Copies of this chain bind each other. A is one copy, B any other.
Amino acid sequence: MSFEINIGKTRRTRVSEVNFNSIPFGKIFSDHMFIADFRMGEWENCRIVPFGKFLFHPATSSLHYGQSIFEGMKAYAGKNGEALIFRPDKNLARMNQSARRMAMPELPEELFFSALNELVSLDRQWIPKVDGGSLYIRPFMFATDEYVGIKPSDNFTFMIFTCPVGAYYEHPVKVLIDDRYVRAFPGGVGTAKAAGNYGATLFPVKQARANSYDQLLWLDGIEKKYIQEIGTMNVFFQIGEKVVTPTLDEGTILDGITRDSVIRLLKRRGIEVEERRVSVDEIVQAFDNQLLLDAFGTGTAATVSPIAEIGYNGKKMHLPPVSTRQISVSIKQELQDIKHLKKADDFGWVHSVESSKVEVED
């Protein structure tokens, strides 16, 4: 199958208006966006157009019934003008997994990569060259039937837009375990990157923030005993010499791409990593025995984010200073170096996008 992309370039790039030394996260959008429509069982009308608002019908079904999924990736500036994207094949696989669970159509590999390559190449001037900067890439798909009634949509739109982003603010995070709320449960959609999963967490997280925590550390909904994830990140704990992280087997946490990469890098270092049920009790006990040496979240936005404090039932577990951590700091650096090809890409994780033949005038 071939997906021809119709390219309608912007008349004038906005890139010179951006101060790349001070970019607010998620508010600056590059010149172009990719759009494709799913109609009569086929993806069609693949196009790149100037970034901008589009017309939306008030009964667009995604807005009412939540058939809406997304992904997040980052592109980095390579040495020779190419764009480096970290493991986009995993994002496509996860997007298609989300699509199946949400009764939405899958994206063919060729469509996804043609769109990604063409868009990132066209807007390559938007990739920040500053330290810690990257081009955040947001693919998303949503139902577009103009219909009031609860049924899977027949029509969908797939879009990709990009945002230049600066270094993510990196104070070590404080996470709270609050067992009054549950993020995901077996038989639900916790593994899908579906819009509704995020909306459901906002009120509990808002309450945690009012108590000076950054995020919630979610527990399983059945026994309120096992740790799941942070909602925006997967979670790892170093207990003594080994590292533990919640298993994917319960079907309640996101199959994080940074999570998978960190597990592989740690194993290559010879560190024992256990993917299994991790109980709060085990973490509390490790903390009490001074064996909880490191804890961190992983995700595309924050990459690796050390945890400073875990709150649970009034107990405040303060983790060791980040400077003493054996894992979170070095693994973050290693990952960053691979993403920028400053370190050998032994796993074949980095997807390189060459410059487009299409040029945008200044």
Chain A residues within 8 Å of B, Cβ to Cβ: 25-27, 29, 33, 51-59, 62-68, 70, 100-103, 136, 138, 140, 142, 146-152, 159, 161, 163, 179-183, 185-189, 194-203, 206, 221-222, 231-232, 301
Contacts and interface: CB of A to CB of B under 8 A. Distances in A.
Given A199-B102, A200-B194, A221-B222, A68 B58 contact: no
Contact of A55 (B53, B181, B203): B53
A67 to B, nearest CB: 5
A145 to B, nearest CB: 9
Contacts of A194: 66, 196, 199-200
B26 A64 contact: no
A63 B64 contact: no
Contact of A161 (B59, B138, B200, B202): B59
19 contacts: A26-B59, A26-B148, A53-B57, A54-B58, A55-B55, A64-B68, A64-B138, A64-B198, A66-B195, A66-B197, A103-B203, A138-B148, A148-B163, A150-B198, A151-B202, A152-B203, A181-B188, A188-B188, A194-B200
A186 B195 contact: no
A222 B58 CA distance: 37
Of the candidates A64, A186, A199, A202, the one having the most CB atoms from chain B within 10 angstroms of its own CB is A199
B66 A198 contact: yes
Given A33-B58, A186-B182, A199 B67 contact: yes
Nearest to A26: B148
Which 7 pairs, one residue from A and one from B, show the smallest C-beta to C-beta distance?
Answer: A196-B196, A66-B199, A26-B148, A182-B187, A66-B195, A56-B56, A65-B198
B203 A65 contact: no
B150 A64 contact: no
Nearest to A182: B187
Contacts of A57: 53
A102 B55 contact: no
A58 B161 contact: yes
Given A64-B70, A180-B187, A195-B65, A202 B103 contact: yes
